[in-house]
Every structure is written in structure tokens, then in C-alpha cells.
A and B are shown apart, each in its own frame.
Chain A
């Protein structure tokens, strides 16, 4: 049981490039979320999904897109990378609304 798997673990981009951060979970969880973590800012919610085909915006959605075509996968797309998007990105999943959240190990993204 792998839990929540994020790829890549590290990435360096140039300003203006696009990329997709991958997230997969094998626990059949309905809820999935993307967070970014910056020093002194805690974890801020980017986008989340309460089931396949359903997504919604979190606190800081601008510059990011998501889709949820399957229960297992929840990719995060950066459309045109900006230095302000340099951060550590965490994907998480949980079975239901008040259930424990399981996190991946994070993707460390630097944008030059």
C-alpha cells in the first residue's frame, strides 16, 4: 500500500514554463487536495476535490489548474510558472470530510 505518491520530488523551471505535478493515491479516498507550504505561511490550500469529476478552489488557486478524471489521480498544472510559485507542494487525500488526511512527501519546486 503506497498511500499518496507525488512525482517529481524536485523540479526546477524557468519563468513562463508549464508543468504538471502528479499525485496518485491507492486508498480509494474520495477527497484529494493540493497545498503549498512556504516559510511562515503554513499549508495553504490551492485546489481540492470531493470526488471524481468534482473540483473546487482553495485559498490560493490563481496560476494553477486541476482535474479529477479518476478517483486515484489528481494532477496539478502550472500554466505559466512564476517565481512566486517557488514552494513545496503537498498532495493529500482522505476518505471523508472529517477523516484523517494522508500526505505525500512533497514536490520541491523552484522557478528561476
Chain B
């Protein structure tokens, strides 16, 4: 059983559409991180959220940490083909950084 559940697992959309990816858990996390991974490479950190209810924006990407620090979401506005990749959330229940299964996003031109 995954400690962090991501949904959807796969998402294929057209350029210009908006989308939201979810990361949920029954556990409380001291912080949650979001990574993006491209084929043949390791994941690269996008953002870390620490405070319950926190919202962070990175250009067209908006990250939110749930009030209870058990869940997080990633919203992309006006998706572009360059946003294609595997999006992973990761949390720290302890020293062990634990990852969700990932959401594979494909943005079609």
C-alpha cells in the first residue's frame, strides 16, 4: 500500500487546457515536495510546501498543501507540450522521503 496516493495515474490533454493532479495520504507530513521527471532522467524538484494551507505559484503551476498537511494538489493553467512528464509528490513522515506513484501527463499540441 502506497503511503502517498496520486491521481490520476495518467492524463492526456490538449494544449491550452487546465488540469489538477492530486496527492493524498492518511498520514500527516511535515512537508511535501513535488518533482517532475522526464524520460531517461532523474526527478527534479519543483517546489516544497511546508505550512498547512500554503499555496505556492511557479509560473503556470500552482501548488497547494492541505490544511491538515495530509494532501496536496498541483494545478497547471493553460498546459503546454513542454509540461509533458511524470509528476511525483513526495513526503516526509520521518527521515525517509517517500514518493507517490506519479502522474504521467501528456500535453498534445
**Residues of A that sit less than 8 Å from B by CB:** 4, 31, 33, 35, 40-45, 48, 50, 56, 58-59, 90, 92, 94, 97-98, 100-106
Contact = CB atoms under 8 A, between A and B. Distances in A.
A101 B33 contact: yes
Interface of B: 2, 6, 9, 30-31, 33, 35, 40-45, 48, 50, 88, 90, 92, 95-102
B21 to A, nearest CB: 13
A103 B42 contact: yes
Given A103-B43, A106-B42, A43 B99 contact: yes
Contacts, number: 64
28 contacts: A31-B95, A35-B99, A41-B101, A42-B2, A42-B100, A43-B99, A43-B102, A45-B97, A45-B99, A48-B95, A48-B96, A59-B96, A59-B98, A90-B42, A92-B97, A97-B92, A97-B95, A98-B30, A98-B50, A100-B45, A100-B48, A101-B35, A101-B45, A101-B90, A101-B97, A105-B41, A105-B42, A106-B41
Given A103-B42, A105-B40, A42 B97 contact: no
